[in-house]
A and B are shown apart, each in its own frame.
Chain A
């Protein structure tokens, strides 16, 4: 999709200025090479957000300190979500904690990676019948990698890190893009837990446009509920009808 507004373009958003259908897969060789180098560099310098839930926190000190030393993989803890690359969910998530996790996740800059650690994030684990904990993490945010175990040992965590690095290196760790592409579905799952008044200060839809990941699934009936929280600073809560018309005009 082009951003040009001066040159008249066709009404079909899938065409470029020359009315040629845009091939999403098409990439120039130079761009491929640059991406490859960038992915390689990115995978060698990852920061974990220093945020732990549940009991997995106890496995992280040996993982990042001298015994197993994840810094030799280039992985370090980082205190702020805005500078972090990896969000480690280290165990069960209560509904209350999930709110904070989503707030942190949305503040992280792309590309960002989520690792679900322990069986609690996969299917509830030993808290499968608890009313207060969520069961499947990937309903609320896209997950790149799960590390099974209750809890996984530091060796397993290291193995997971290596696998994630491998995925990033190959350009396969793209789960964060699905959050923008299917934001309406993720928001719907979040609203099912937190109620229709749930909203975050992050303008996810504007970010989706910025990253060029905006699809028709980014908005829908769930994002339409955000309309009442609109402000002049946050453009996110545009009602879906208005937004889709705008898309067509572009």
Chain B
């Protein structure tokens, strides 16, 4: 994996301080940077390198760390390389800036992450419940949320009894 990084990407990465990148594959770049530098990186990638496509924002709740990991997956139709930008934000206020002004599809991903992990994105157009309309508990994708306990509390089980079954040959 010693492919030359495209020049334009290299020039973008040089502008951001404390940025570390790693070539994970022929068309995959893993970038790690400080949280406050992410909007600048996205602006530069979009403006210079044709990164028009924000494929997804994913969130990882590391149970041992006190931080959420946010991963922004970006794709350029010119350079044809996937850039995954990893940032860490502290769990305690759990707030971050929205990138809705750079990529409009971010609104969906941020709304989803807000619902599932409780991270609040400032400047995102809509932070209302998205899929979990009947949900009143904590954000269910957090590692601290025990689904088994919730299920035990909410639902009843039934015991298996073999006489229900009628064998079909």
Contact = CB atoms under 8 A, between A and B. Distances in A.
Given A136-B156, A148-B165, A131 B134 contact: no
B158 A123 contact: yes
A132 B148 CA distance: 11
A219 interface: no
A124 B154 CA distance: 13
Interface stretch (A8-16, A28-36, A155-163, A174-182): A155-163
A128 B160 CA distance: 14
Contact of A124 (B145, B155, B168): B155
A75 B155 CA distance: 34
A163 B166 contact: yes
A139 interface: yes
Interface string A137-168: 00100000010100000011001000100000
A96 interface: yes
Nearest to B168: A159
Interface in B135-160: 137, 140, 145, 147-148, 150-151, 154-158, 160
A194 interface: yes
A130 B165 contact: no
B97 interface: no
B155 A135 contact: yes
Contact of B151 (A99, A135, A146, A163): A135
Given A122-B158, A129-B147, A131-B147, A95 B168 contact: no
B117 to A, nearest CB: 14
A148 B168 CA distance: 11
A126 to B, nearest CB: 13
Contacts of A95: 134
A163 B166 CA distance: 10
B26 interface: no
A193 B150 CA distance: 13
Given A131-B147, A131-B151, A193-B134, A136 B168 contact: no
Interface string B109-139: 0000000000000000000000111100100
B86 to A, nearest CB: 28
A10 B147 CA distance: 56
B142 to A, nearest CB: 11
B158 A195 contact: no
A134 B155 contact: yes
A129 B148 contact: yes
A54 to B, nearest CB: 16
B169 to A, nearest CB: 9
B133 A136 contact: no
Nearest to A162: B168
Interface in A172-211: 192-195
Interface of B: 131-134, 137, 140, 145, 147-148, 150-151, 154-158, 160, 164-166, 168
Given A135-B155, A159-B168, A195-B134, 9 more contacts: A95-B134, A123-B160, A129-B148, A131-B151, A131-B154, A132-B132, A135-B151, A136-B158, A193-B134
27 contacts: A96-B131, A96-B134, A122-B158, A123-B160, A124-B151, A124-B155, A129-B147, A129-B148, A129-B151, A130-B151, A131-B137, A131-B140, A131-B145, A131-B147, A131-B154, A135-B151, A135-B156, A135-B157, A139-B156, A148-B165, A155-B168, A156-B168, A159-B168, A192-B154, A193-B134, A193-B154, A195-B134
